[in-house]
Amino acid sequence: MKNTGLFLFFTIISFISFAQPTGSGVTDNDLQLNTITTALPFMSITPDSRAGGMGDAGTALSPNSTSVYWNTSSLSFSKVKSEISLSYVPWLRQLTNDIHLSYLSGYVQLNKIHTIGGSLRYFSLGEITFTDASGNVIRDDKPSEFELTGAYAFRLADKLSIGLNGKFAYSNLTGGLTVGGVNTKPGVVGAADLSFTYYNDEAKIGKLDGVYTFAATFNNIGNKVAYSELSKRDFIPMNMKIGNSFKAEFDRYNHVTFAVDLQKLLVPTPGITKSTVGYNSLPNDAFIGRTNDVGVISGMIQSFYDAPGALAKDEDGKFIQNTDGSYEIVKGSRLKEELAEINIAAGVEWWYNDVFAVRTGIFYENKNKGDRQFLNFGASLKYNMFAFDFSYLAALTRQSPLGNTLRFTIRLYLGQGGGAATAGE
């Protein structure tokens, strides 16, 4: 496939999805604030500066050591035999100055078919003072979480590969503190990632030669977590990403990569209750939607069709109740809410002479599903075996705790694989 129609198709679909039309006149203002929350959210924080400088559109980027997080299957096509990188992210600096994420990752190509890798993610929540109901200090603690990942990529054909990650995560948020007579405990997770990559280094858009990559990943597929024997078990941030990129080779010195990702949590959507924002006039026992108290596989499947939508109102502003006791849903609002759960990431990167790069990107999340909307900017400098990446996040919403986030990554290239390392790899 030399004409990259898939890239153009997904690019068009991605930007159309910003509007998320349904043809029924339903707007975002018709929907309720209904954010999907998970346990261990640190597992889905972007750790590296390259994708972090391209709007978090990292699924189909050319392979490097942080592909262990984004898309392990792409490592089969790396031109670098082995690489190690270390990333550091000061997190939520708008709120505090002692939360940070550290990420160490690497891989080695055993041969043209088999590649192995791994990573260690450490998240420190800084120092927290625990108090009782009266405000008396119990003790100071430094909660933390970590994730250990083993990665394997298998090349199925010249242009197709598959990847599998196994993960162990440990979340110690309370240090075994007893709350209300209930003993708390750390959260322990076993999870897996599955990824697929189609890689075409003979692609064309018109007369422009380049490299086209299409990738799909299913991440953090693992057990639910509880922090005490009595608390409800919560889903971890299982998600699906579909990405494609095109690296345009203008000449021997200038390469430009365009990337687009569609990202969705594979976690059930909460139903509407009296406590849902805007629905305080509902009866105390009202519940509209589907329960999220289901198993992991059922929850993943349910996440594609369980959005409750918006309740219809009569002329007096009261919710319309059907004769069977159920509530009328605004036509098209369920589909609108399902589409609102798709996040869109897009970025562009320019490399000059495989030495210097600049990049930028944008990330969009619907205001009813978290409202993460930001621009990214980044740069890289490469010299022989070393490279340094940097990125900056500029929030597009007011008082965003993500505003002014910085990311730093240092890379060490340890050997050549199928050919000399090219820009961005």
CATH number belonging to domain 5-416: 2.40.160.40
Per-residue confidence (pLDDT) for residue 422, from 0 to 100: 46
- Per DSSP, 113 falls in state S
**Above 80 in pLDDT, residue 27?**
no
Per-residue confidence (pLDDT) for residue 183, from 0 to 100: 84
Tell me if 227 sits within 8 A of 238, measured CB to CB: no
**DSSP assignment of 222-283:** E--B-SBSSSPPB----EEEEEEEEEEE-SSSEEEEEEEEEEEE-SPPPPB-TTSTT-TTS-
Q: Which two tokens stand for residue 138?
A: 């119990």
pLDDT digits (tens, 9 = 90+) for 347-358: 999 999 999 999
The mean pLDDT of 366-385, rounded to a whole number, is: 94
Rounded to the nearest 10°, the torsion over CA 293, 310, 44, 166 is 40
**Above 90 in pLDDT, residue 94?**
no
The mean pLDDT of 287-293, rounded to a whole number, is: 90
- Cα separation values, 398 from 255, 370, 371, 372, Å: 35, 13, 10, 10
Alpha-carbon distance 127 to 297, whole Å?
36
Q: Is 333 left (phi over 0), alpha (psi -120 to 50) or beta?
A: alpha
**Beta strands 160-172 and 182-183: pairing type?**
unpaired
**Whole-structure pTM value:** 0.89
Per-residue confidence (pLDDT) for residue 96, from 0 to 100: 84
Q: Which two tokens stand for residue 135?
A: 């405000």
Alpha-carbon distance 267 to 290, whole Å?
12
**Above 90 in pLDDT, residue 230?**
no
Alpha-carbon distance 189 to 176, whole Å?
17
Amino acid at 185: K
**Beta strands 187-205 and 160-172: pairing type?**
antiparallel
pLDDT digits (tens, 9 = 90+) for 95-152: 888 899 999 999 999 999 999 999 999 999 988 887 777 777 777 888 999 999 999 9
**Above 50 in pLDDT, residue 419?**
no
pLDDT digits (tens, 9 = 90+) for 173-193: 888 777 767 788 999 999 999
Percent of the chain with pLDDT over 90: 66
Alpha-carbon distance 258 to 342, whole Å?
20
Per-residue confidence (pLDDT) for residue 421, from 0 to 100: 42
Domain edges within the chain = 5-416
Alpha-carbon distance 323 to 307, whole Å?
22
Q: Kindly report the average pLDDT of the chain as a whole number.
A: 89
Per-residue confidence (pLDDT) for residue 22, from 0 to 100: 47
Q: Judge residue 215's burial from the number of C-beta atoms within 10 Å of its C-beta, 0-12 exposed, 13-18 middle, 19 or more buried.
A: buried
Amino acid at 405: T
- Cα separation values, 276 from 44, 47, 268, 332, Å: 25, 32, 16, 20
The mean pLDDT of 52-67, rounded to a whole number, is: 96
What is residue 367's three-state secondary structure?
A: helix
Q: Which residue has the higher pLDDT, 184 or 415?
A: 184
Residues 6+ apart with CB under 8 A from 226: 187, 232, 233, 234
